Amino acid sequence: MAKVKINKKRCKGCNLCVVYCPKKNLKLEDKLNEAGIYTAMAIDESNCTGCGFCFIMCPDAALEIEG
């Protein structure tokens, strides 16, 4: 089972991973991080197929696919 891991310190909230996730399994959080940014988060980790589109689209290498 694949799992997306998001580095909250590297994520700048550009929303590209959210837009390109074919399962619509990512969204921006409702609260700001320490830098004042709404970072990406997985909605349901068990719904991740491991396709890697989020990883490919992230300009800051803030995402990683495990499994």
For 1-60, what is each residue's pLDDT tens digit?
799 999 999 999 999 999 999 999 999 999 999 899 999 999 998 899 999 999 999 999
Q: What is the total count of domains within the chain?
A: 1
Q: What per-residue confidence (pLDDT) applies to 62? A: 97
Write out the residue range of the structural domain in which residue 56 sits. 3-66
**pLDDT, tens digit, for every residue of 36-53?**
999 999 999 889 999 999
Query: 42-49, long-range: CB within 8 Å, 24+ apart, which pairs?
Result: 42/3, 42/4, 42/6, 45/3, 45/4, 46/1, 47/23, 48/1, 48/2, 48/3, 48/4, 48/23, 49/2, 49/22, 49/23
Distance of CA 51 to the CA centre of its chain: 13
pTM: 0.90
CATH of the domain at 12: 3.30.70.20
Q: What per-residue confidence (pLDDT) applies to 17? A: 98
